[in-house]
């Protein structure tokens, strides 16, 4: 139940510069996400999405700025933040030597959801039901009892998802959750998440490169080189960036061209002609044309069109050499380990 109007996620002037990097991986971003909102963070490889999520989930310290999750500061109240969040990491973080079920069980115990029992059979019925339900949604079923080292990439992904959903988190962070999932599992996961959002008012922050998954988001932010270059509802982002247009053609192109000129509408091409009009204007234009048309094709922009436009535009404005010099995985691991050591213990 939502009892407060405080944002579920509140990010102010967030900056992250990795050690020895020449530029900021996250370069002063601001956004808030309301309780129960579905918010998508989009952007090309290296834009800073995972860095942002890592900070929001207390896995990484910010260089500067303030982040609050469900009202709790990620720096000073890390364990309170962790109780409220669920995370699906871009890079799997499973124990290979345990079975799928054991990974989920130990995670659930760590989060204080269930008391420790040495085997699945001895776990409470509620745990077993919840696990079976989730395993069915993601079509993992009996494979849940096999060792993780025998899993395919997609199966590991599914197990991560199941694990992160066990404690019904108030705020769920999904970093490319569907990368590598087959279409049936992908659809199953989205149906489950929609249902979970409706039932529990879960706030969802998603990153994805499948832009159709963000079409249903309440709002999207497009991140490029650590900066938010567009933020709004998918409709608003599209409207701001890409035009609706209609393609028309006729056997008598000269006549059609003359009519388009006379109508004073902007158009391009030598036939088919691309006319930049939308909605009601399209209807009026088509009614006004007398030349028999052989082609009428309306183009409604997708979020992907808008995304490509905004990222392309931002890149050409930024010019070359905007990248961050990375330190690689070892440094990443060391920083995370430091963080885990410094944080108030969850383990």
Ligand X SMILES: Nc1ncnc2c1ncn2[C@@H]1O[C@H](COP(=O)(O)OP(=O)(O)OP(=O)(O)O)[C@@H](O)[C@H]1O
Closest contact distance (angstroms) between CB of 141 and Mg ion is 29
Cα–Cα distances (Å) from 199 to 1, 2, 149, 187, 338, in that order, read 10, 12, 34, 18, 37
Which of 90, 282, 294, 302 contacts ligand X by CB under 6 A? 90
User: Does 90 contact Mg ion by CB under 5 A?
Assistant: yes
Burial of 270-302, coded b for 16+ CB within 10 Å and e otherwise, reads ebbbebebeeeebeebeeebebeeeeeeeeebe
- Tell whether residue 308 is a contact of ligand X (CB under 6 A): no
Contact call for residue 164 and Mg ion (CB under 5 A) = no
- Pick the stretch among 18-26, 131-139, 189-197, 301-309 that binds ligand X (CB under 6 A): 18-26
Instruction: Give the Cα separation of 30 and 13 in Å (integer).
Output: 5
Give the one residue of 47, 94, 123, 314 binding ligand X; rule: CB under 6 A.
47
As measured in angstroms, the least distance from the Cβ of 164 to ligand X is 17
From ligand X, Mg ion, none, which one binds at residue 21 (CB under 5 to 8 Å depending on kind)? ligand X
Name, in order, each residue with C-beta under 8 angstroms of 82's C-beta and a sequence gap of 6 or more: 57, 58, 346
Q: How far is CA 79 from CA 125, 269, 338, in A?
A: 28, 60, 15
List, as one string, the DSSP characters of 82-114: HHHEEEE-SS----TTSBHHHHHHHHHHHTTSS
CA distances to 36, 214, 230 from 222, rounded to whole Å, are 20, 11, 5
- Most distant CA pair in the chain: distance in Å? 82
Which one of 85-93, 115-123, 312-320, 337-345 is the stretch in contact with Mg ion (CB under 5 A)? 85-93
Task: Give the residue, chosen from 244, 253, 274, 327, that forms a contact with ligand X under the rule CB under 6 A.
Answer: 327
We find the least distance from the C-beta atom of residue 323 to ligand X, in angstroms, to be 6
Smaller CB separation from Mg ion, 90 or 200: 90
- Give the separation between CA 199 and CA 36, rounded to whole angstroms: 10
Residue 294 lies near Mg ion (rule: CB under 5 A): no
Residue pair 343/79 in contact by the 8 Å Cβ criterion: yes
Is 43 near ligand X (CB under 6 A)?
A: yes
Number of residues that bind ligand X (CB under 6 A): 18
The binder of 239, among Mg ion, ligand X, none, by C-beta within 5 to 8 A per type, is none
Point out which span in 5-13, 98-106, 266-274, 324-332 binds ligand X (CB under 6 A): 324-332
Among 24, 50, 54, 99, binds Mg ion (CB under 5 A): 50
Whole-number minimum distance, CB 45 to ligand X, in Å? 3
- Distance between CA 51 and CA 62 in Å, rounded? 9
Binding residues for Mg ion, rule CB under 5 A, total 3
- H or E segment at 312? helix 303-318
Within 10 angstroms of residue 261's Cβ, the number of other Cβ atoms is 10
Q: Name the site residues for Mg ion (rule: CB under 5 A).
A: 49-50, 90
Q: Which residue ranges make up the site for ligand X (CB under 6 A)?
A: 18, 21, 25, 43, 45-51, 90, 323-324, 326-327, 331-332
């Amino acid at each position: 139940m939502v009892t407060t109007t405080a944002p579920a996620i509140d990010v102010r002037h967030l900056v992250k510069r990795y050690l020895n990097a020449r530029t900021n991986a996250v370069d002063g971003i601001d956004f808030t996400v309301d309780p129960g909102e579905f918010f998508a963070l989009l952007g090309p490889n290296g834009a800073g999405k995972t860095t942002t999520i890592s900070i929001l989930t207390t896995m990484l310290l910010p260089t500067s700025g303030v982040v609050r999750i469900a009202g709790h500061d990620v720096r000073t109240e890390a364990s309170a933040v962790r109780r409220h969040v669920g995370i699906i990491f871009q890079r799997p973080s499973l124990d290979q030597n345990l079975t799928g079920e054991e990974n989920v069980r130990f995670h659930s115990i760590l989060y204080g959801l269930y008391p420790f029992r040495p085997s699945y059979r001895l776990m409470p019925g509620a745990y077993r039901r919840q696990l079976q339900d989730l395993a069915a949604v993601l079509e993992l079923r009996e494979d849940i009892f096999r060792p993780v080292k025998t899993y395919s990439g997609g199966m590991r992904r599914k197990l991560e998802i199941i694990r992160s959903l066990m404690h019904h988190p108030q705020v769920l962070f999904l970093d490319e959750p569907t990368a590598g999932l087959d279409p049936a599992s992908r659809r199953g996961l989205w149906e489950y998440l929609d249902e979970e959002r409706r039932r529990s008012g879960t706030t969802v922050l998603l990153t994805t490169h499948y832009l159709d998954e963000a079409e249903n988001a309440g709002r999207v932010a497009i991140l490029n080189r650590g900066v938010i270059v567009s933020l709004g509802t998918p409709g608003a982002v599209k409207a701001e960036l890409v035009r609706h247009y209609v393609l028309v053609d006729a056997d008598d192109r000269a006549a059609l061209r003359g009519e388009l000129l006379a109508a004073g509408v902007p158009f391009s091409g030598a036939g088919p002609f691309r006319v930049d009009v939308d909605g009601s204007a399209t209807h009026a234009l088509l009614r006004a044309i007398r030349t028999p048309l052989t082609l009428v094709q309306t183009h409604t922009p997708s979020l992907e069109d808008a995304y490509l436009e905004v990222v392309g535009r931002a890149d050409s404005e930024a010019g070359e050499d905007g990248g961050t010099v990375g330190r690689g995985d070892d440094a990443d691991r060391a920083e995370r380990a430091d963080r885990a050591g410094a944080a108030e213990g969850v383990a």
